[in-house]
Amino acid sequence: MRYFLGFDLAVKSKLDIDAWRHKSLPSFEAAVPASNFHITAVFLGQITDRQLEMLSLGLDELTMQPQQFSLDMMGYWSKPKILWLGCTNVNDSVYQLYTSLIEVCKKSTIELPNRDYKPHVTLVRKVSANPPAALLAPNFVINVDKLHLFESVSGKQGVHYPIRQSWEMRKPIRPKGYS
């Protein structure tokens, strides 16, 4: 089974992004269904039951804060042929969380490729060439307060991403007298 850690989007955000896509971009044959919109934190790939158990225990111990993503740019990756919605600027706290997640994965003996983190929502797959610029600039603010373990499941209807486990992200509690 293939897994990844990531953030689900609120239904309203998924519908808003989908409406923007339909207004701003040409029609695509391999458009990702709005129900599949998410932001991947770490792609895990195929992992064993033991690695999954170690990962879960490690994430249970991790303190995570809620995050915010400003999806305000569109991009295209030619090798995987993906059109995506991403962030011009990424908060330092997002990178800190990413680094913490990578450490938990390493302690769980999960081998990951060494690549830069680019938070994004995949809009379309199998795009043969970089499409024209969007008619309307994207501008979505996504707040997340849970990290999820998603499974990538392929079926007759296409791929879908059921959530298999979740972890709350909480704001730090400050003692009285601190601001």
pLDDT at 15: 98
Catalytic residue from among 22, 38, 148, 160: 38
Topology of the domain covering 2-168 = Cyclic Phosphodiesterase; Chain: A, (3.90.1140)
Evaluate whether 13 touches 142 at the Cβ level (below 8 Å): yes
pTM over 0.85: yes
- For residue 144, give the amino acid letter: V
Is 120 among the residues known to form the active site?
yes
Map residue 147 onto helix, strand or coil: strand
Q: How far is Cα 22 from Cα 16, in angstroms, rounded to an integer?
A: 10
22, 120, 148, 160: which one is catalytic? 120
Between the two ends of the chain, the Cα-to-Cα distance in Å is: 45
User: 173: which DSSP letter?
Assistant: P
**Residue the block writes with tokens 């330092």:** 92
- The tens-digit pLDDT sequence of the chain (179 residues) is 899 999 999 999 999 999 999 999 998 988 999 999 999 999 999 999 999 999 999 999 999 999 999 999 999 999 999 999 999 999 999 999 999 999 999 999 999 988 889 999 999 999 988 888 899 999 999 999 999 999 999 888 788 999 999 999 987 655 555 55
Q: Is 148 a catalytic residue?
A: no
Adjacent-strand bridge partners of 26: none
